[in-house]
Amino acid sequence: MTYNTKQKDIILEKISKLEKDFTIKEVHNMLPDVGLTTIYRLVNKLEKDGCITKIGNDNEATYHYTGKCECGNHFYLKCNKCGMLYHVDCDYADKLSKHILEDHGFVTSKEHIIINGECKTCSKGVK
Amino acid sequence: MTYNTKQKDIILEKISKLEKDFTIKEVHNMLPDVGLTTIYRLVNKLEKDGCITKIGNDNEATYHYTGKCECGNHFYLKCNKCGMLYHVDCDYADKLSKHILEDHGFVTSKEHIIINGECKTCSKGVK
DNA sequence: CTAGTTGCAAAGAGTTTGCATGGCG
DNA sequence: CGCCATGCAAACTCTTTGCAACTAG
């Protein structure tokens, strides 16, 4: 019901090895031979499958490859200045999820907690 | 250096009384007499002033009026299903900010921590 | 009167859709 | 061969910009 194509392999190969988050444009720049539309369509599908997390950005959508991992002990720190996404392994994430669920009845999204702010470098650099 | 106009008053009056987050379009629908452009411009300015927090959404930007409050003991839980933004007063927010700062050197954005997930209602209702 | 503000129309930017072609199974 | 996948171009939507008219101070 779903074919394996060259483009799919190329895209998956690429984004699964990225250590940082990415935009559609970036992927397209890295893979000029794959059509823009195809990247949009595949990324959307991967997002539905749960392999990718969409990080609603300013005006351009940013995505992050998460694979199929179901581990809960981490969260993301997203720097609003430089755009970097830091993956943090930390017990605190579990505690936080549990707290939010038990005290506020809120299910944190697939254990992918994204907290916005400013990273060490940027908060020092500016001002 | 900055004038007080009718439009400004109308917009501020409206969004400061909203209990939920809003999009530019929603504001425009509520205030048909104010030009779209004006709303964009004013909201952007208010965001810079810190009275409004932008919640990078899917394709349409969502904003939330926060006023000038500098209180730190709260965070937001944003439901990805119904779009509701829950304002939660909780000591945990402070602890979390402190932890992130001390252990990860990351400054959480203006104490406005937004955590995505699914609210009680939606997580029960579906599937 | 001067400088900031407004709002229309047009331009930009990101994303989606239509449709004909090509490739997997 | 049937059906999904691809990719170009066009359509759409949200947001920004240019510019002339307007208004607060």
Q: What is the CATH number of the domain that holds A86?
A: 3.30.1490
Domain presence at residue B38: yes
How sure is the predictor about A78, in pLDDT bands with cuts at 50, 70 and 90? confident
Question: Residue with structure tokens 């939920």?
Answer: B20
> Mean pLDDT in chain A?
80
- Residues of B near A (Cβ–Cβ under 8 Å) read 54-59, 61, 77, 79-80, 86, 88, 90, 92, 96, 99-100, 103-109, 112-120, 123
Q: How far apart are CA A127 and CA B20, in angstroms?
A: 32
**Same domain assignment for residues A39 and A85:** no
Domain presence at residue B126: no
Give the highest mean pLDDT range of A97-101, B37-41, B80-84. Answer: B37-41
**Same domain assignment for residues B8 and B61:** yes
Option in A88, A113, A117 nearest B108 (CB): A117
Domain presence at residue A100: yes
pLDDT at B126: 47
**Same domain assignment for residues B87 and B111:** yes
The β-bridge partners of B85 are B78
The CATH number assigned to the domain holding A40 equals: 1.10.10.10
Structural domain including B39 reads: 3-65
pLDDT at A126: 46
Contact list in A for residue B90 (CB cut-off 8 A) is 103-104
Option in A57, A109, A123 nearest B117 (CB): A109
Positive/negative CA dihedral, A111, A84, B63, B107: positive
Domain presence at residue B106: yes
**Same domain assignment for residues B60 and B101:** no
**Same domain assignment for residues A32 and A84:** no
Q: What is the mean pLDDT of residues B44-49?
A: 88
Smallest Cα distance from B20 to chain A, Å: 17
**Same domain assignment for residues B105 and B84:** yes
- Kind of pairing, strands B74-79 and B113-118? parallel
DSSP labels for A81-114?
Answer: TT--EEEEE-HHHHHHHHHHHHHH--EEGGG--E
pLDDT in tens, B84-112: 677 777 888 788 888 888 888 888 865 56
- CA B47 to chain centroid, in Å, comes to 9
Q: SS3 of A116, please?
A: strand
Domain boundary residue, one of B65, B85, B101: B65
Domain presence at residue A123: no
The β-bridge partners of A61 are none
Q: Which residues contact B118 (CB under 8 A, 6 or more apart)?
A: A106, A107, A109, B79, B80, B81
Our count of domains for chain B comes to 2
Q: What angle do CA B93, B95, B97 make, to 5 degrees?
A: 70
**Same domain assignment for residues B24 and B58:** yes
Domain presence at residue A125: no
Domain presence at residue A25: yes
